[in-house]
Amino acid sequence: MPSKLQSLALIVILIGVICLVIGEANLANSNQTQVNLQYSAWSDACNLTNGNTYRIDISGNNWGSGFAASNFANPQPLNVTITSPGGGVTTLQAFYWGEAASGMSKEGTPPTMISVTYLNIDDSGLTVDPTSPKIVITAKQTGLYNVSVPQKGGLFYTSKEPPDFIAFYEYVIPSRETYSLLAAGGGGIAALGGITFVVSLFRKSPAKRKRTAK
């Protein structure tokens, strides 16, 4: 049977997890507002605000020719570099997949980003969401963030044409204060409950005195 301290610790952990879930649900219900868009360019820069979360979209209709011809059996990478206001560099590979041509269509569908692998993260400039299939970052500095793709290297530059567009979208959370409070508070509460539970495992129960017969 769990002790009273262990039961209390489990309750505290449960409360922390609930707070985290509610906070993440609040983030999931956020709207995405386009804050910058650059057509036909190898790079784009946008002023971001410390603490805010953004999605970066990079797309090109002309990238679909290889997929349309069924030349690729696996998702293909696009090399991306993000430079923070302080000069720190984050590098990643965004993987795209497109459907092969079918029926009357000879071009197939433009490939879409399906996963992201982060190779190096500028911890002083941003944090990333490694669980998202898109490029999602949270700014740690207020200032100009630059996103660029190399003109050589990666699947999509065989035509030597830049992406059709690079865009920044800001997550507008209905109640950012509520999200921050629940995310930070929930994590702290869950951690406190976990520590309490571990401590309770090593705590010795007080020895019961044996009654002596009169």
DSSP E strands: which ranges in the chain?
A: 31-39, 43-48, 53-59, 76-83, 89-97, 112-120, 126-128, 135-139, 143-148, 165-172
Classify residue 149 by burial, with Cβ atoms within 10 Å: 0-12, 13-18, 19+. buried
Task: Give the integer Cα–Cα distance in Å for 186 and 19.
Answer: 5
State the pLDDT at residue 119: 95
Coil, helix or strand for 213?
Answer: coil
Is 214 part of any domain? no
Domain limits at 185?
1-30+174-204
Is 82 part of any domain? yes
pLDDT above 80 (res 187)? no
Question: Same domain for 3 and 71?
Answer: no
Whether the CB-CB separation of 166 and 58 falls below 8 Å is answered with: yes
Question: Same domain for 57 and 25?
Answer: no
What pLDDT, in 10s, does the model give residues 91-130?
999 998 876 655 555 555 678 899 999 999 999 999 999 9
Question: Same domain for 114 and 183?
Answer: no
Q: 77 pLDDT band (50/70/90 cuts)? A: confident
Is 213 part of any domain? no
Is 4 part of any domain? yes
State the pLDDT at residue 162: 80
Question: Same domain for 98 and 185?
Answer: no
Question: Same domain for 62 and 140?
Answer: yes
Task: Give the integer Cα–Cα distance in Å for 92 and 21.
Answer: 28
CATH number for the domain that contains residue 123: 2.60.120
What pLDDT, in 10s, does the model give residues 133-167?
999 999 999 999 999 988 765 555 455 678 889 99
Instruction: Give Rg (Cα) of the chain.
Output: 25
Question: Same domain for 8 and 80?
Answer: no
State the pLDDT at residue 154: 56
pTM over 0.85: no
Is 187 part of any domain? yes
Task: Give the integer Cα–Cα distance in Å for 122 and 83.
Answer: 8
Question: Same domain for 64 and 98?
Answer: yes
126 CB neighbour count, 10 Å cutoff: 22
* Percentage with pLDDT > 90 across the chain: 36
Question: Same domain for 89 and 37?
Answer: yes
Question: Same domain for 26 and 38?
Answer: no
Is 210 part of any domain? no
Question: Same domain for 110 and 122?
Answer: yes
What average pLDDT does the structure give for the chain? 75
Question: Same domain for 107 and 188?
Answer: no
Whether the CB-CB separation of 133 and 115 falls below 8 Å is answered with: yes
Question: Same domain for 74 and 105?
Answer: yes
Q: 203 pLDDT band (50/70/90 cuts)? A: low
State the pLDDT at residue 47: 97
Question: Measured between alpha carbons, how far is residue 204 from residues 53, 183, 192, 199 in Å?
Answer: 46, 34, 20, 10
Nearest to 117 by CA among 104, 109, 128: 128
Is 130 part of any domain? yes
The DSSP 8-state label assigned to residue 178 in this structure reads: H
What pLDDT, in 10s, does the model give residues 14-32?
776 666 666 555 555 568 8
What pLDDT, in 10s, does the model give residues 41-73?
889 999 999 999 999 999 876 665 666 566 677
Task: Give the integer Cα–Cα distance in Å for 193 and 18.
Answer: 13
Beta carbons within 8 Å of 72's beta carbon, 6+ residues apart = 66, 155
The total number of structural domains in the chain stands at 2
